[in-house]
Structure 1
Amino acid sequence: MYLVAAHHFTDAARIRGAVALTGGVADAQTALWWHGMVEDPPLPTTISAPTKRHRSPRYLAPLEIHRRDLLADDIEVVRGLSVTRRPLTLLDCVGVRSDATTLMDRSLQTAEVTVSSLTGALDRNAGRRGMAEARRVVEVVESDTESEAECEFADLMRAEGISGWETQLPIGRYRADFTWPEENLVVEVDGWAFHKDAVRFQRDHDKRNDFARRGLTVLAFTWHDVVNDPVGTVEAVVAVLRERRGAAS
């Protein structure tokens, strides 16, 4: 394999070379970048190579080779390169990237993928490494993600020993998801944006503005915040509680 002297060894050239060398398909984080779903090119280059090719080739850039035989429904050609389709690409990144579910949510919003395309890719690749965790995520997508997020948040507060909160407390004409009455703190927990239509978005916006006008501090978290960044979620709540409790003492 040669690179013409007039051409630079760009990230795209590195990935093209890896696919050609292995006879495989760009997958996971490499496919994510090739599809334009993230800005930063990945290292190592991730490739799905046929199981019959047992030899690991030497290459001048780091390679991560996944030995698996993909079906045609999970492969497409983008700008002349064979890559995994978006549904399988996103599923492959669950458990690998902390923002995988956020990227999946965004792709569902823009209709670049659908729930049925995700379940189809899951079924075709059932039993493969990482698919059990990906299946749990898709099951969340198919459910009431807002209720799921509220349950996750409540479990997180209990696990951290944070008390003093009430659920669904009436405030004016609304009910707050979580309220610390003594500290004038309200926490609103959202599901996946994919599930929220314009009417629900406006209602949540009006609800939080109403709470703020009443002098309440409002923190808002999504399912992704609670599940993927529990430490950050807890720290945000604790910071307000400490401030309020310190001021009252």
Structure 2
Amino acid sequence: MYGKSAKRPLDAAIAGFIASHDGVASRSELEALGLSSDAVDQRSRTGRLHRIHRGVYSLSPFLTSKGHARAAVLACGDGAFLSHRSAAHVHGLFRTGPRRIEVTIPTNNGRKQRPGITLHRCALTRAEVTTDGHIPLTTVARTLLDLAEVVPHRVLMAALDRAEDLRLLDLRDVRAVLTRNPHRHGAAKLASAITEYEQGPVLRSILERDFLALCHKHQLPIPHTNRTLGPYEADFHWPEHRLIAETDGRAHHARRKAFTKDRVRDAELLADGWRTVRFTYAQVVHEAAWVAGILRRALTRAERA
């Protein structure tokens, strides 16, 4: 009787700890709660604990995305941090995480790859790591540097936009990360993206030239430029298709008032039968084929309507 009553507080402590730590616990955490190493193994064999990774357990085989993230970090041992696209997902920069969870460990660490986990090896400073609840992960600034190494320019710019929307973007932190890591593969790419982000509105003549060149190259109908539609002026539009294309400089898009004003404008024009597609100048220059594809689909849809 005494043995059973003694187990109940321990079971409650384990359940409470796991519930408050994204649904998972490491072997060392369980031992700190009072379970012996043999007891952990015995509970794992009998199904009272579910093994997620070597040395990482849960009370249920079903985990949340954060549970899987914390489990991956625990599986990689001390000094491991969630990073890259997985960290971007936890920070809210990506709507979904990658299929394989990405974790960064110290360069001098010899740990092997784990199933479902992509390991990156790189030393991280204290200024480049943080926590989200009980998940150790890279800061937003460091995450952006890591993203610059593994995602296209358009995706990186979208992550910058999302960080700004969530008020997580501190350009001083980003510059500090770049200063500490000048030779990282993504450093030049991130520096360029930040410069683009901060630049003033691009000259209309340059925007017009490059956008019209894109239309010529990809054999799209040539739009009217800088025409007034009611109280608004459209950068480019196709009257017969009731389609408008707007090109925004990074600094313009980064300002919240401009962002809100543009959305009001788009809604009012939509109510009058005009659809608006928006592109950054960088997309027109660096993702021309993608921009042309979007325009072609929009123009084709308008013809069929």
Instruction: Specify which of 68, 73, 80 is matched with residue 127 of structure 2.
Output: 73
Matched, 1:64 2:118: yes
Q: Which moved more, 1:142-151 or 1:44-53?
A: 142-151
Distance 1:144 1:115, change over 3 A: same
Distance 1:78 1:120, change over 3 A: same
| Higher helix proportion (structure 1 or 2) | 2
Instruction: Specify which of 44, 50, 75 is matched with residue 18 of structure 1.
Output: 75
Matched, 1:185 2:243: yes
Q: Residues 214-235 of structure 1: CA distance to partner in whole angstroms, max 9, x if unpaired?
A: x5x3322243994697556434
Distance, in Å, in 2 between the alignment partners of 1:244 and 1:37 is 32
Distance, in Å, in 1 between the alignment partners of 2:75 and 2:190 is 26
Q: Which moved more, 1:123-132 or 1:166-175?
A: 166-175
Alignment of 1:88-107 (within 5 A): 88-94=142-148, 96-97=150-151, 99-107=155-163
Distance 1:238 1:73, change over 3 A: same
Matched, 1:111 2:111: no
Report the secondary structure of 1:127's partner residue.
Answer: coil
Distance 1:175 1:62, change over 3 A: same
Distance 1:109 1:239, change over 3 A: closer
Distance, in Å, in 2 between the alignment partners of 1:45 and 1:212 is 43
TM-score scaled by length of structure 2: 0.63
Partner of 1:160: 218
Distance 1:90 1:110, change over 3 A: same
Q: Give the drift of 1:141.
A: 0.9
Bigger RCO of structures 1 and 2 (CA < 8 A, at least 6 apart): 1
Q: Number of paired residues?
A: 242
Distance, in Å, in 1 between the alignment partners of 2:190 and 2:282 is 18
Identity %: 21
Q: Which amino acid aligns with 1:68?
A: C
Distance, in Å, in 2 between the alignment partners of 1:123 and 1:135 is 10
Distance, in Å, in 1 between the alignment partners of 2:99 and 2:297 is 36
> Greater CA radius of gyration, 1 or 2?
2
Q: Which amino acid aligns with 1:27?
A: S
Q: Which runs of 5 or more residues in structure 2 are unaligned?
A: 1-25, 31-39, 53-62
Distance, in Å, in 2 between the alignment partners of 1:218 and 1:205 is 13
Matched, 1:198 2:257: yes
Partner of 1:234: 292
CA contact (8 A) 1:115 1:142 kept: no
Q: Residues 1-50 of structure 1: CA distance to partner in whole angstroms, max 9, x if unpaired?
A: 858534442414531333316x3322112222343544544343322222
Q: Which runs of 5 or more residues in structure 1 are unaligned?
A: none
Report the secondary structure of 2:228's partner residue.
Answer: strand
Q: Which amino acid aligns with 1:64?
A: T
